[in-house]
Amino acid sequence: MPRELEVLQDAIEVAGRAAQLIAEAARDAVHTRGRFTLALSGGRTPSAMLRALADEDLPWAGVRIVQVDERVAPEGHPDRNLTALEENLLSRAPLAREQVFAMPVGEQDLAAAARDYARTLVGLAGRPPRLDLVQLGLGNDGHTASLVPEDPALDVVDEDVAVTAPYQGRVRMTLTYPVLNQARHVLWIVTGSEKAEMLRRLQAGDATIPAARVHPKSSTLLADAASAR
């Protein structure tokens, strides 16, 4: 359950505030540990956040970016979260392509690819991997990452990365609860009036929705006025 809730006027303000918080966390992590590992989700407001983040003063050389989840779709397809990440951040910030670790959803053996990505996380963030900041969203059905209602990935406790059943027409690869709950900080971004009920249930710790099963030691929730009504 989020420990801090900030309500801002609209999605643009949420995106800008999220970029500020990520930049602050990056500067602190690089100063303290020499590296900042950031896990990013997709979505409209996160895309605006990435554009704002590109204008922030970060120690970019120390930043490493991984994905929270990804759809199995061709490279460059608009369904891919990586496509938005490349367009909104990688093309705008002094960030090398080698600093972005994309989920290998183009592999034929997705289960093996998920295990490979889990090893990538260990190489970046230790064993078990402890990511510095994970940015999450909230779906209308209470999902977060690609941890969706009734999916087998909800019950994965011994792997950090899983492959889901088809959801909204796409199989997905996703980080699982063990690695999300191990993160140093989780930053929730919730916007839109259609999210109001699920935001209420998230804040209440309603474990019947997947998002409420994410409970790291430290988290912040940024919401717009429409979702927090």
Tens-binned pLDDT, residue by residue, of the chain (229 aa):
455 899 999 999 999 999 999 999 999 999 999 999 999 999 999 999 999 999 999 999 999 999 999 999 999 999 999 999 999 999 999 999 999 999 999 999 999 999 999 999 999 999 999 999 999 999 999 999 999 999 999 999 999 999 999 999 999 999 999 999 999 999 999 999 999 999 999 999 999 999 999 999 999 999 999 999 8
- Rounded to the nearest 10 degrees, the angle between the axes of helix 44-54 and helix 11-33 is 50
CATH topology of domain 4-224: Rossmann fold (3.40.50)
Identify the helix (H) or strand (E) that includes residue 108: none
Q: How big is the CA angle at 67 (ends 65 and 73), to the nearest 5 degrees? A: 130
Three-state DSSP class for residue 148: coil
> Domain ranges in the chain?
4-224
Structure confidence at residue 4 (pLDDT): 83
